[in-house]
């Protein structure tokens, strides 16, 4: 049986001026490695015709299929022409279709028919000839099982977004608005705390605070590793680092680690040094290796929370962008970044903030590790589910992940 027997492309159209930004999907807003989607940065600058999708449709990025960009729509909306919209035919489960198209073998197949070298595009006719199993009686149970995993991953990510917001809010309250607790436990600036002009920062700061270079809080680590030594490590190139996110669970195949490799440790800060305005600054959830397109930064363990916020701030990203060199892909050097002026607060407030936010960071890292384990679990099970080696049956007892019981034959 072929994919075309259970699914079809959607050709329905909608005008770009008929949808809101949160309902617009592009290849750029679809995330790599089956991670769903993020909000698009803007609607098309001129009114144009989009492909209309509905809740339950499967959206796949058709440029460079090896990036594995897929999202099951949970809203109605529109997408550009480089996003394929695939809908389950009557009598077939959208959840099962989603599970089917999550398989690595699907993207390997799509790449075999892709046209173009620099920006290969999948062949729509060839994609519809993808071989699919005949599992009509178990489609829904397989699909629901995979969607349950997806929902748990999404829940972890939502929890992490809320935790990150809490850490940023407290940082903003203490170190931007300067309403940290004074000696009486009242907000400093709002309660009339003394402010003094800082000439280098060109603004007022609390009395007793001073400015220092970023290098006072962070040091650049350059621990090189040979390709022959890469086995056993996880690989995190610049491409898989998320934008504006404190940590990550995504990695690239170790076989892609072929040059310019360097090690990082758990809790190191990874800062993209290419096109810094993409805001790729993350805390490593485990040891690993990256490439020299990423700056590896290390802080004192008890100052991680404060140190991270210094380089995660929009102000630092703006400074780093202005001090990058090159036009097509501007590059940031540590020599330039380390001179960025930051606040050194009195009363050990940097340590006090870090003692609070480090607990938040630990929870975020734990959630990211759990996401990675769930993704690994899902990807290992998918081919077994599709070839019938494993079955899933709902059970009233939550004896395994998400209340499902796996039976291996």
pLDDT tens-place string over residues 332-390: 999 999 999 999 999 999 999 999 999 999 999 999 999 999 999 999 999 999 988 88
- Please check whether residue 15 is in contact with residue 49, taking contact to mean a CB–CB distance below 8 angstroms: yes
Instruction: Give the Å distances, CA to CA, from 307 to 221, 272, 283, 313, 396.
Output: 15, 16, 11, 10, 47
Question: What mean pLDDT value characterizes the chain?
Answer: 92
**Using CA atoms in the order 342, 344, 349, 350, what is the torsion angle rounded to 10 degrees?**
50
**Fold agreement between 3-132 and 208-351:** yes
Range of lowest pLDDT (173-177, 325-329, 344-348): 325-329
pTM: 0.85
Q: What is the CATH number of domain 3-132?
A: 3.90.220.20
Superfamily of domain 208-351: DNA methylase specificity domains (3.90.220.20)
CB neighbour list of residue 240: distance below 8 Å, 6 or more residues apart: 32, 33, 248, 250, 251, 252
- Rounded-to-integer distance, Cα 252 and Cα 234, Å: 8
CB neighbour list of residue 364: distance below 8 Å, 6 or more residues apart: 160, 163, 164, 246, 247, 283
pLDDT digits (tens, 9 = 90+) for 297-310: 999 889 999 999 99
- Please check whether residue 281 is in contact with residue 337, taking contact to mean a CB–CB distance below 8 angstroms: no
- Rounded-to-integer distance, Cα 27 and Cα 37, Å: 9
- How does residue 407 score in pLDDT terms, banded at 50, 70 and 90? very low
- Rounded-to-integer distance, Cα 279 and Cα 317, Å: 7
pLDDT of residue 136: 67
pLDDT of residue 408: 36
- Please check whether residue 314 is in contact with residue 320, taking contact to mean a CB–CB distance below 8 angstroms: no
- Please say if the pLDDT value at position 392 is more than 50: yes
pLDDT digits (tens, 9 = 90+) for 182-207: 999 999 999 999 999 999 999 999 99
Q: Is 202 left (phi over 0), alpha (psi -120 to 50) or beta?
A: left
- How does residue 133 score in pLDDT terms, banded at 50, 70 and 90? confident
- Please say if the pLDDT value at position 284 is more than 70: yes
The residue ranges of every structural domain in the chain are 3-132, 208-351
What does the DSSP assignment read for 375-389? HHHHHHHHHHHHTTS
pLDDT of residue 388: 83
């Amino acid at each position: 049986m072929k994919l075309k027997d259970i699914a079809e492309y959607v050709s329905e159209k909608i005008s770009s001026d008929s949808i809101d930004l949160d309902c617009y999907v592009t290849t750029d807003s679809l995330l790599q490695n089956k991670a769903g989607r993020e909000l698009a940065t803007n609607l098309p600058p001129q009114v144009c015709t989009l492909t209309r999708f509905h809740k339950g449709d499967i959206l796949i990025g058709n440029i460079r299929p090896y990036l594995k960009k897929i999202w099951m729509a949970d809203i109605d909306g529109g997408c550009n022409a480089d996003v394929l919209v695939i809908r389950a035919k009557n009598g077939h489960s959208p959840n099962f279709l989603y599970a089917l198209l999550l398989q690595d073998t699907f993207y390997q197949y799509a790449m075999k028919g892709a046209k173009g070298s620099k920006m290969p595009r999948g062949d729509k006719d060839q994609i519809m000839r993808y071989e699919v199993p005949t599992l009509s009686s178990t489609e829904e149970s397989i699909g629901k099982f995979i969607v349950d995993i997806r929902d748990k991953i999404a829940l972890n990510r939502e929890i992490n977004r809320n935790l990150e917001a809490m850490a940023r809010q407290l940082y903003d309250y203490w170190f931007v608005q300067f309403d940290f607790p004074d000696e009486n436990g009242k907000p400093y600036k709002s309660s009339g705390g003394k402010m003094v002009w800082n000439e280098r920062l060109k603004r007022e700061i609390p009395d007793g605070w001073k400015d220092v270079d970023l290098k006072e809080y962070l040091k650049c680590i350059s621990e090189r590793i040979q390709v022959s030594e890469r086995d056993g490590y996880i690989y995190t190139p610049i491409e898989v680092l998320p934008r504006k996110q404190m940590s990550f669970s995504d990695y690239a195949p170790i076989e892609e680690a072929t040059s310019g490799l360097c090690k990082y440790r758990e809790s190191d800060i990874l800062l993209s040094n290419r096109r810094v305005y993409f805001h790729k600054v993350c805390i490593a959830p485990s040891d690993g290796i990256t490439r020299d397109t990423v700056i590896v930064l290390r802080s004192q363990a008890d100052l991680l929370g404060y140190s991270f916020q210094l380089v995660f701030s929009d102000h630092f990203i703006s400074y780093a962008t202005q001090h990058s060199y090159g036009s097509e892909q501007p590059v940031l050097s540590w020599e330039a970044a380390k001179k960025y002026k930051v606040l050194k607060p009195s009363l050990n407030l940097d340590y006090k903030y870090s003692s609070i936010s480090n607990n938040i960071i630990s929870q975020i890292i734990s959630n990211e590790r759990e996401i990675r384990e769930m993704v690994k679990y899902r990807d290992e099970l998918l081919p077994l589910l599709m070839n019938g080696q494993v079955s899933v049956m709902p059970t009233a007892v939550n004896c395994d992940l998400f209340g499902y019981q796996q039976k291996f034959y």
